[in-house]
Amino acid sequence: MTTVDDLREGAELPPLRLPPITRTTLALFAGASGDHNPIHIDLDVARSAGLDDVFAHGMLSMAYLGRLLTGWVPQHRIRSYRVRFAAITPVHAEPTCTGRVVSVADGLATLALAVTLADGTTTLTGEAVIDLT
Protein backbone atom coordinates (compact mmCIF):
# COMPACT_ATOMS: atom_id res chain seq x y z
CA MET A 1 0.00 0.00 0.00
CA THR A 2 1.24 3.45 -0.84
CA THR A 3 1.75 6.28 1.58
CA VAL A 4 0.26 9.73 1.20
CA ASP A 5 3.77 11.01 0.42
CA ASP A 6 3.77 8.95 -2.80
CA LEU A 7 0.81 10.94 -4.10
CA ARG A 8 2.85 13.70 -5.67
CA GLU A 9 2.13 15.31 -9.01
CA GLY A 10 3.29 13.21 -11.93
CA ALA A 11 3.51 9.97 -9.92
CA GLU A 12 2.47 6.89 -11.90
CA LEU A 13 0.52 4.04 -10.35
CA PRO A 14 1.97 0.58 -11.00
CA PRO A 15 -0.01 -0.64 -14.06
CA LEU A 16 -2.47 -3.50 -13.58
CA ARG A 17 -2.24 -5.95 -16.48
CA LEU A 18 -5.20 -8.32 -16.84
CA PRO A 19 -5.29 -11.72 -18.50
CA PRO A 20 -7.37 -12.07 -21.70
CA ILE A 21 -11.12 -11.60 -21.15
CA THR A 22 -12.71 -14.97 -21.89
CA ARG A 23 -16.36 -15.86 -22.39
CA THR A 24 -16.16 -17.43 -18.94
CA THR A 25 -15.02 -14.06 -17.52
CA LEU A 26 -18.10 -12.44 -19.06
CA ALA A 27 -20.48 -15.14 -17.82
CA LEU A 28 -19.10 -14.90 -14.29
CA PHE A 29 -19.16 -11.10 -14.33
CA ALA A 30 -22.77 -11.09 -15.57
CA GLY A 31 -23.80 -13.20 -12.59
CA ALA A 32 -21.58 -11.52 -10.02
CA SER A 33 -22.35 -7.95 -11.10
CA GLY A 34 -26.07 -8.56 -11.61
CA ASP A 35 -25.86 -7.09 -15.12
CA HIS A 36 -27.62 -9.83 -17.10
CA ASN A 37 -27.88 -7.90 -20.37
CA PRO A 38 -27.61 -10.80 -22.86
CA ILE A 39 -25.61 -8.74 -25.36
CA HIS A 40 -22.52 -9.59 -23.24
CA ILE A 41 -23.08 -13.34 -22.90
CA ASP A 42 -25.36 -14.60 -25.66
CA LEU A 43 -23.88 -14.70 -29.15
CA ASP A 44 -27.35 -15.06 -30.71
CA VAL A 45 -28.47 -11.79 -29.14
CA ALA A 46 -25.24 -10.02 -30.16
CA ARG A 47 -25.73 -11.16 -33.76
CA SER A 48 -29.38 -10.11 -33.76
CA ALA A 49 -28.11 -6.61 -32.93
CA GLY A 50 -25.81 -6.67 -35.96
CA LEU A 51 -22.62 -7.40 -33.99
CA ASP A 52 -20.07 -10.06 -34.86
CA ASP A 53 -19.61 -11.18 -31.27
CA VAL A 54 -20.34 -10.42 -27.63
CA PHE A 55 -18.30 -7.69 -25.90
CA ALA A 56 -17.30 -7.03 -22.31
CA HIS A 57 -19.39 -5.08 -19.82
CA GLY A 58 -18.05 -1.54 -19.39
CA MET A 59 -18.42 -2.07 -15.66
CA LEU A 60 -15.91 -4.94 -15.80
CA SER A 61 -13.22 -2.51 -16.98
CA MET A 62 -14.33 0.02 -14.37
CA ALA A 63 -14.03 -2.69 -11.71
CA TYR A 64 -10.50 -3.55 -12.91
CA LEU A 65 -9.57 0.13 -12.63
CA GLY A 66 -11.14 0.13 -9.17
CA ARG A 67 -8.69 -2.66 -8.24
CA LEU A 68 -5.85 -0.41 -9.43
CA LEU A 69 -7.13 2.33 -7.09
CA THR A 70 -7.78 0.20 -4.00
CA GLY A 71 -4.47 -1.59 -4.51
CA TRP A 72 -2.82 1.80 -4.20
CA VAL A 73 -4.76 3.71 -1.56
CA PRO A 74 -7.17 2.60 1.17
CA GLN A 75 -10.66 2.70 -0.33
CA HIS A 76 -12.06 5.14 2.23
CA ARG A 77 -9.77 7.82 0.78
CA ILE A 78 -11.53 7.69 -2.62
CA ARG A 79 -13.92 10.67 -2.75
CA SER A 80 -15.09 10.21 -6.33
CA TYR A 81 -14.41 7.95 -9.28
CA ARG A 82 -15.75 8.47 -12.78
CA VAL A 83 -15.11 7.04 -16.22
CA ARG A 84 -16.12 7.51 -19.84
CA PHE A 85 -16.45 4.35 -21.91
CA ALA A 86 -14.64 5.28 -25.13
CA ALA A 87 -14.63 2.01 -27.06
CA ILE A 88 -16.04 -1.49 -26.86
CA THR A 89 -13.84 -4.16 -25.24
CA PRO A 90 -14.00 -7.27 -27.46
CA VAL A 91 -13.92 -10.76 -26.02
CA HIS A 92 -10.28 -12.03 -25.78
CA ALA A 93 -8.96 -8.47 -25.24
CA GLU A 94 -6.14 -7.96 -22.71
CA PRO A 95 -6.75 -4.73 -20.78
CA THR A 96 -4.10 -2.78 -18.90
CA CYS A 97 -5.14 -0.25 -16.26
CA THR A 98 -3.00 2.83 -15.72
CA GLY A 99 -3.19 5.92 -13.53
CA ARG A 100 -1.19 9.08 -12.93
CA VAL A 101 -1.44 11.86 -10.36
CA VAL A 102 -2.26 15.03 -12.33
CA SER A 103 -2.68 17.46 -9.45
CA VAL A 104 -2.39 17.73 -5.68
CA ALA A 105 -4.20 20.64 -4.05
CA ASP A 106 -6.10 21.37 -0.84
CA GLY A 107 -5.52 17.88 0.50
CA LEU A 108 -6.93 16.21 -2.60
CA ALA A 109 -5.04 14.32 -5.31
CA THR A 110 -6.63 14.01 -8.75
CA LEU A 111 -5.69 10.94 -10.78
CA ALA A 112 -6.08 10.49 -14.54
CA LEU A 113 -7.02 6.89 -15.32
CA ALA A 114 -7.16 4.80 -18.48
CA VAL A 115 -7.70 1.27 -19.72
CA THR A 116 -5.91 0.32 -22.94
CA LEU A 117 -5.83 -2.89 -24.95
CA ALA A 118 -2.82 -4.68 -26.42
CA ASP A 119 -3.57 -3.16 -29.87
CA GLY A 120 -3.36 0.36 -28.42
CA THR A 121 -7.11 1.05 -28.23
CA THR A 122 -8.11 3.19 -25.26
CA THR A 123 -11.40 1.71 -24.06
CA LEU A 124 -11.93 3.85 -21.01
CA THR A 125 -10.69 7.13 -19.59
CA GLY A 126 -11.46 8.40 -16.14
CA GLU A 127 -10.62 10.37 -13.07
CA ALA A 128 -10.51 9.72 -9.34
CA VAL A 129 -10.18 12.16 -6.46
CA ILE A 130 -8.26 10.89 -3.42
CA ASP A 131 -8.47 12.47 0.02
CA LEU A 132 -4.97 12.91 1.44
CA THR A 133 -5.97 14.37 4.80
Distance CA 3, CA 51 (A): 45
> Which residues in this chain contact another protein in the complex, by CB under 8 A?
18-19, 25, 28-29, 31-37, 39, 45, 48-49, 57-60, 62-64, 66-67, 69-71, 75-76, 78-85
Q: Which is nearer to another protein, 10 or 77 (CB)?
A: 77
In the bound complex, what is the minimum distance in angstroms from residue 127's beta carbon to another protein? 9
Torsion of the alpha carbons at 111, 82, 16 and 124, rounded to the nearest 10? -110
Q: Which amino acid is at 53?
A: D
Distance CA 90, CA 94 (A): 9
In the bound complex, what is the minimum distance in angstroms from residue 13's beta carbon to another protein? 15
Distance CA 42, CA 54 (A): 7
Q: Which is nearer to another protein, 14 or 31 (CB)?
A: 31
In the bound complex, what is the minimum distance in angstroms from residue 102's beta carbon to another protein? 17
